[in-house]
Amino acid sequence: MKTPIFTGAATAIVTPFKGYEIDYDKMAELIEMQYAGGISAIVVCGTTGENATQPVAEHEQLVDFCVKHNAGRMKVIAGVGSNDTMTSIRLAESAKKSGADGILMVTPYYNKTTQRGLVQHFSTVADKVDIPMILYNVPSRTGIGLTAETYKILSKHPNINGIKEASGDFSLFARTRALCGDDLFIWSGNDDNTVPMMSMGALGVISVASNILPQTVTDLCKLCLDGDFKAATALYCKYADLFAKLFIEVNPIPVKTAMNLLGMKVGNMRLPLYDMAPENLEKLKESMKNVGLKIIE
């Protein structure tokens, strides 16, 4: 019987930069902040961590650093997604060697493949590397999504632990739950989907908002896990606009901007990601102020 890698709130953690270099001192501070906020797991080198612009050696070094600094306090899940299966295998092997608790693997982008190809892509990595895998479905970014029937096939693999479902498709989520049951654990991949998905059996969220609100997202998930969806809904509604504004431009532009506005000094994004448009920046600031976050001008 499978055991979920984590329950509750996981943070898709940003990668802080100084120019083109990773700011490892700041990364350590961010990990401490997440731990203090009750977060169950951190996802390193995911979309929010700008993995698409990280060379393989840098990627491996960052995962290794996070595992060592975390020292077992939270689960560490390493992003290993690629449109090259062999690259994903290398990153998965490196993550396991570093001591990561699991891997997150997005559907391949650009070359995309078919549903049959997706089964082979994920299964090949799961066969080669004995580490729990979370599938990541975000077709708005990759141009290809997993179907419930494909989830059903992949759920039978002992190393495939669950899915980060970020399609926003509740019919897909419901059908997947019906087909796979506890053979495939599900986490929301969108902050604004957390409460409804957990009401239908999701175990938590892999969150962007928790980069700035770790305790809030932790509390939200705990209320859902405790079955208090009335209180969870009230808490969600307080932050609903901010959750939306954190995606007013492509992630992680808004969340990194918000962190810098709060004085967290996480630095720049790597091109092609770029500074927010002035009109969107003002909307983000207003939303942050409305929930009591103190902006440092």
Please identify which of the residues 75, 136, 151, 256 carries the catalytic annotation.
136
CA distance 225 to 117: 35
CB atoms within 10 A of CB 68: 11
> Does residue 128 carry a catalytic annotation?
no
Please identify which of the residues 75, 164, 245, 256 carries the catalytic annotation.
164
CA distance 131 to 4: 12
- For the chain, give the secondary structure using H, E and C: CCCCCCCEEEEECCCCEECCEECHHHHHHHHHHHHHCCCCEEEECCCCCCHHHCCHHHHHHHHHHHHHHHCCCCEEEEECCCCCHHHHHHHHHHHHHHCCCEEEEECCCCCCCCHHHHHHHHHHHHHHCCCCEEEEECHHHHCCCCCHHHHHHHHCCCCEEEEEECCCCHHHHHHHHHHHHHHCEEEECCHHHHHHHHHCCCCEEEECHHHCCHHHHHHHHHHHHCCCHHHHHHHHHHHHHHHHHCCCCCCCHHHHHHHHHCCCCCCCCCCCCCCCCHHHHHHHHHHHHHCCCCCCC
> Does residue 109 carry a catalytic annotation?
no
Which amino acids are annotated catalytic? 136, 164
